[in-house]
Amino acid sequence: MRPMTQVAAPKASRRTPADKHDERRKALAESALRTLGDLGYARASLREIANNSEFSHGVVHYYFHDKLELIVYCVRYYKQTCVHRYDGVVAEATSPGDLVERFADKLVETIVEEAPMHRLWYDLRSQSMFEESLREAVTQIDQSLEDMIARVLARYAELAETQPALASPVAYGMFDGIFQQALLGHLNGRDGALEELRTRVVELMPMLLAPKA
């Protein structure tokens, strides 16, 4: 959620004429994401998306070819900021135990703060099982999430002076599974779903390391 001013003003061009287009796409995406997070992929109509924004419903086709392109753009745009969520954890952790704590806390935090975005992601990924045209984007995002987990795990092993016991796809699959489970529980209003996620991650992480000797 960094400010949307471009990287800088290289010379005297305060607003590049062609970048305005990109700016608008992002603005549209940001308000579309709110509606998509509320209603999900199928139920969010272009009119509803436009109503919850400062634009009219027709403008979507000026900036996007069709509904699918808008939605893929939105999720890509969101996930782009998402994959660096644990960079701070990796950078600042001082010991294996510290890293585990920080990682678990961050996982809980993002469920509390961005549950609608996460359910939208799972919605889109499920849709991609039916809709061929979603698969490329979903595959790429999934890969970048796996890489994110891999970085955490690598740093964890480094701090513990050992090696990861599992390849990163497995680790990602596992975390994704219990994360999804916690998200579902949280949305169901099940008390303790978040605290359970925390303890589960804490007790799971050590198992992902190869024995020291």
User: Which stretches of the chain bind DNA, using CB under 7 A?
Assistant: 15, 17, 20-21, 24, 43-48, 54-63, 66-68
Rounded Cα gap, residues 80 and 90, in angstroms: 18
The nearest distance, CB 85 to its own copies, in angstroms, is 18
Q: What does the DSSP assignment read for 161-189?
A: TS-BSS-HHHHHHHHHHHHHHHHHHHHTT
b/e per residue 158-190 (b: at least 16 CB within 10 A): ebbeeebeeebeebbeebbeebeebbebbeeee
Residue among 63 and 96 whose Cβ is closer to its own copies: 96
For 184, the token pair is 């579902």
Nearer residue to its own copies within complex by CB, 31 or 168: 168
Q: Is 59 or 187 the residue whose CB approaches DNA more closely?
A: 59
Binding partner of residue 83 among DNA, its own copies, none, CB cut-off 5 to 8 Å per kind: none
| 89/145 with CB nearer its own copies | 145
Residue 173 contact among DNA, its own copies, none, beta carbon within 5 to 8 Å by kind: its own copies
Task: Please report how close the Cβ of residue 144 comes to its own copies at its closest, in angstroms.
Answer: 15
Count the Cβ atoms, other than its own, within 10 Å of residue 53: 19
